[in-house]
Structure 1
Amino acid sequence: MALQSEKLKGKLAMVTAGKVQYDVMISYDAEDAAVAIKLKDMIGKKGIHAWTADSEATAGTDIFNAIGRIIVDCKIFVFIMSDSSVASKLCQDQLALAYVSKKNIFPVQLNEREDLLAHMDNGMKLQLAGFEWFSLNNDLESESKEFVDRVWEEVQSEIEQEKADGSKKETKNPGENKATAVRKAFKRQKTLTNLNKSLSKTKMSRLHLEDASTYWSQSFGKETTITWDRFRNKILGDFKADFEETFGEKDTEWLLSILHREMMVDSGDNMLKKEKYLEFCSVDDVIHPLWLRVQEQARESYAMREVFSMDSSVRVQAIENLGKYKSATVIQALIDLLTDSDVNIQAVAIISLARTGSNDITTIVNLRKSLKSKDRVVREAACLALGHVKATQAVEALVNLWRNDIISNVREAALVALKNIGGEKASEAIRVTTVLEKEIRALKT
């Protein structure tokens, strides 16, 4: 919903605690408001709460904050696609947030597919590639009815799934480690499996569709460890046209840096292990084709970059709301953003990671790397994040910053982190440094 009219600002559907819970969020451009309201009314007759800009609006509240909360909390995200909406920055932000918060996305096209694709950026094309598109550009009345029936069925399915998940939580072994398998847990949205089906019917070659294990064997034989440069050159050669057409030179380099991190390439010797490569290519214990996993990773990363960019209309709400899900996919995508070229995005990603409460070894290791950033805000955020998740492994590095960083804000943040972490090691470091400081001051007088 591209809220381009100033008169819409300050209007908010009542979605705070104890008020209306919306099952469906309808995102659209102001030019397509008539279609959005028609769909909302039809969905409402099914007993489902759908949100549009005119929904029970209340003056005096930030509508952009409301939108962020609604997207994260809803069950279905309906995106009305027209030439204007797919080019709208606000709609791009909303779609990206829906994607990273694992919403069931229903794209509704008002124009021909090729016309819409011509107006989309790389990220939007990839995010929508795996979802079934519903057309309303022929017969609005009959096609709308069929679409609304599908939405109703999906909402009921989501409700049943929530009940089932609730039952599982009640019977879950309390001793189970919540931090297990974080690196592997890319949970594909239900409709994302359509991507594999659709691609298999296109011009995809055997190379694109063979599983990642076969690709490794045919490329590197029985070797279990290879240099990253060798792997990089191999995939850039095999998928040269795909990288050029889908990502372009700049985004290809950005994506390769993410793959380097995702496959947990050793930063010391820059070696890639077959085991880590296969973990990356596995979803739900099934090894998938390498190129399809690269595309999935790109979709996640594009969406996270859109959501957390400094000019995103949903950034603040994403930070505040996504953390509560402790989603492994979100956590991993946030880790990817720690290497973004924009230090502001790095800092926001660090804050968001802290809010998730994730303290697995991968998260800690990457937050510790941020302590070495040249940017003082990034270092300060990393200190506070490590303290928030009580990262005992970072005590030594935090002590070093507390004693040596040239920026007072960073030193103060490191001390706060050490106090939050607590424990014998941190307490002793604080005690020793404090004693030394007192003795030094005494010598000065």
Structure 2
Amino acid sequence: MACDDMDNLDMYISYHDSDKELMLYLFDRLEKNDMKVWARDKENCEGSKGTAIINAKIFLVIMSPASMGQGGCSDEVSLAYISDKPIFPVATKEYDEMKTSLNFSMKLILSKINWVFFTSEKDYKTTFPSVLSSVTETIANIEEGTHVGTADSINDELEKPEEEITKASFRIFSKWRRNTRKYQRKTEKDFWDSQFGSKKSEVSWIEFRKTFLAVYDKFLKKKFTEDRISWLVNVAYGDIFRLNHQITKKMYENFAGKTTDSDPDSFYYKLLEYARGKIAMRGVFNMDSTVRLDAVQSLGCFKNATVVASLIDLLNDKDPNMRAIAAIAIGKTGVKNQRIVGRMLKMLQDDDRLVREAACISLGHMQSEIAVPYLVSVWRKEIISHVRNAAEVALGLINSDQSREALRVVQVLSEEMKDLKDSD
């Protein structure tokens, strides 16, 4: 089926030029099975690849040393992950040959998902039917609304992806006990309750960090190098606990869930999931990313904390165009809090007029009552008409009694100013 538009796009195929032969084979076979497929440089596949990734139901990546190397497909994989696409990795080499090509972020994201191996032309014919069956089933589940997102459907063993996990229902710590009594893992209790006691309402960050590293030492070291473990812990401290020196049980439960009814390892798993999202966002918004602009323009429809946090970071980008696009995207998420609104109000004073215009529209989409007097001030004092018009549009979007009254005054003044000009 032709993909001259992106409506109802079934699949995006990510590949390196050196793997074009396999891409063409997969593209042709999938199209013959009535699937609408998009691939870069393929005839009739118009539009940007970032938009195609976000619109597609499924993301298939052809994994080779070239596609996983520098200048490869990692930014496309990252965008697929944060937009919660089912990811189908198709590897051209055996795992032991591929693992040296995987950087940290790709190993974190892709080694946890079942891979398919096309290592010879013989595999093309024998393996494709299973790929088609999995893809068809996944699309059917998506259309029925029963598909479970990538982040929720994968296990956390980080073993060789081709190895079947025969006891996946067992928690990862069910067969492990530490010898030291203080940090013994008790799978029947949540991390907080088992280590600090259910009645303890807060602990110092130093104690929390020490205990977390002790309890999860074996599995963290199995997955990560020391510097990556340090990075993961800093993510917990900075992003989750907001650099608080004292960690309260309420902070902990806000992230991990109630200790009385959560998975005993909920905090650990959710921290890894958050870290995957964060590192994927870093890949998408890296200055060298080929999908950066498309991602910022489109990701307003995703409201998870990692996306919003990354968009907020982009508000400080040196490129005013990126600041403007990030502001619009944040407005489209519908997420608003004191921090976000305050940051957007400051952007009304940005040196770049496009950024000021974007900040006005974003505050309008947020329907921020607090912003009304600031938007009126912009309309009164701004010398550039496009920014004044954006402030007026924003007042209309807020649609409250206060904003409607402000908009009425603005429109009356506009008419009077127009009459004065005409009389001259």
TM exceeding 0.5: yes
Could you tell me how far apart the structure 2 residues matched to 1:105 and 1:231 are? 35
Could you tell me how far apart the structure 2 residues matched to 1:411 and 1:210 are? 61
Could you tell me how far apart the structure 2 residues matched to 1:399 and 1:226 are? 47
Note the alpha carbon deviations across 1:71-91, whole angstroms, 9 max, x for none.
222232211111111014351
Tell me what 1:296 maps to: 273
Structure 2 residue 133 is matched with structure 1 residue 153: yes
Note the alpha carbon deviations across 1:45-71, whole angstroms, 9 max, x for none.
43434333453347xx65xx1x22322
User: What amino acid does structure 2 have at the position aligned with 1:304?
Assistant: M
> Please, which of 347, 368, 386 is the counterpart of residue 391 of structure 1?
368
Structure 2 residue 249 is matched with structure 1 residue 274: yes
Tell me what 1:15 maps to: 4
Tell me what 2:37 maps to: 50
Structure 2 residue 111 is matched with structure 1 residue 129: yes
Following superposition, the deviation at residue 105 of structure 1 comes to 0.8
After superposition, the Cα gap between the structure-2 partners of 1:90 and 1:209, relative to the gap in structure 1 and judged at 3 Å, is: farther
Is this contact kept in 1: 2:74–2:106, CA < 8 A? yes
Could you tell me how far apart the structure 2 residues matched to 1:191 and 1:351 are? 31
Deviates more, 1:409-418 or 1:100-109: 409-418
Following superposition, the deviation at residue 342 of structure 1 comes to 7.7
> Please, which of 225, 228, 237 is the counterpart of residue 247 of structure 1?
228
Structure 2 residue 291 is matched with structure 1 residue 314: yes
Structure 2 residue 89 is matched with structure 1 residue 107: yes
Tell me what 2:417 maps to: none
Aligned pairs for 1:231-246 (under 5 A) are 231-232=208-209, 234-235=211-212, 242=221, 244-245=225-226
Is this contact kept in 2: 1:100–1:304, CA < 8 A? yes
Following superposition, the deviation at residue 110 of structure 1 comes to 1.7
Tell me what 2:28 maps to: 41
Structure 2 residue 57 is matched with structure 1 residue 75: yes
Is this contact kept in 1: 2:12–2:53, CA < 8 A? yes
Following superposition, the deviation at residue 235 of structure 1 comes to 3.6
Is this contact kept in 2: 1:79–1:108, CA < 8 A? yes
> Where does the alignment leave 5 or more consecutive residues of structure 1 unmatched?
1-12, 167-185, 436-445
Could you tell me how far apart the structure 1 residues matched to 2:86 and 2:62 are? 14
Could you tell me how far apart the structure 2 residues matched to 1:101 and 1:188 are? 10
Tell me what 2:308 maps to: 335
Could you tell me how far apart the structure 1 residues matched to 2:83 and 2:252 are? 25
SS in 1 for 2:4: coil
Tell me what 2:191 maps to: 215
Is this contact kept in 2: 1:210–1:289, CA < 8 A? no
Following superposition, the deviation at residue 39 of structure 1 comes to 2.5
Is this contact kept in 2: 1:335–1:366, CA < 8 A? no
Structure 2 residue 172 is matched with structure 1 residue 200: yes
Is this contact kept in 2: 1:126–1:295, CA < 8 A? no
After superposition, the Cα gap between the structure-2 partners of 1:249 and 1:116, relative to the gap in structure 1 and judged at 3 Å, is: same
> Please, which of 367, 389, 397 is the counterpart of residue 340 of structure 2?
367
Is this contact kept in 2: 1:97–1:304, CA < 8 A? yes
SS in 2 for 1:340: helix
Could you tell me how far apart the structure 1 residues matched to 2:277 and 2:132 are? 27
Is this contact kept in 2: 1:226–1:272, CA < 8 A? yes
Following superposition, the deviation at residue 249 of structure 1 comes to 5.0
Give the alignment's TM-score, normalised by structure 1.
0.68
Is this contact kept in 1: 2:365–2:398, CA < 8 A? yes
> Where does the alignment leave 5 or more consecutive residues of structure 2 unmatched?
159-164, 413-424
Could you tell me how far apart the structure 2 residues matched to 1:57 and 1:293 are? 41
Is this contact kept in 1: 2:205–2:245, CA < 8 A? yes
Is this contact kept in 2: 1:29–1:88, CA < 8 A? no
Note the alpha carbon deviations across 1:288-347, whole angstroms, 9 max, x for none.
432222111111111122223343222233234444xx4443xx2222215638822776
SS in 2 for 1:247: helix
SS in 2 for 1:25: strand
User: What amino acid does structure 1 have at the position aligned with 2:100?
Assistant: A
Could you tell me how far apart the structure 2 residues matched to 1:411 and 1:228 are? 47
Could you tell me how far apart the structure 2 residues matched to 1:209 and 1:412 are? 61
Is this contact kept in 1: 2:202–2:246, CA < 8 A? yes
RMSD (CA atoms): 4.6
Give the alignment's TM-score, normalised by structure 2.
0.71
Aligned pairs for 1:377-388 (under 5 A) are 381-388=358-365
After superposition, the Cα gap between the structure-2 partners of 1:293 and 1:129, relative to the gap in structure 1 and judged at 3 Å, is: farther
Could you tell me how far apart the structure 1 residues matched to 2:296 and 2:39 are? 23
User: What amino acid does structure 2 have at the position aligned with 1:124?
Assistant: M
After superposition, the Cα gap between the structure-2 partners of 1:434 and 1:22, relative to the gap in structure 1 and judged at 3 Å, is: closer
Q: Which fold has the larger relative contact order, with Cα–Cα distance below 8 Å and residues 6 or more apart in sequence?
A: 1
Is this contact kept in 1: 2:58–2:139, CA < 8 A? no
User: What amino acid does structure 1 have at the position aligned with 2:38?
Assistant: W
After superposition, the Cα gap between the structure-2 partners of 1:129 and 1:253, relative to the gap in structure 1 and judged at 3 Å, is: same
Is this contact kept in 2: 1:212–1:281, CA < 8 A? no
Tell me what 1:440 maps to: none
Following superposition, the deviation at residue 97 of structure 1 comes to 1.3
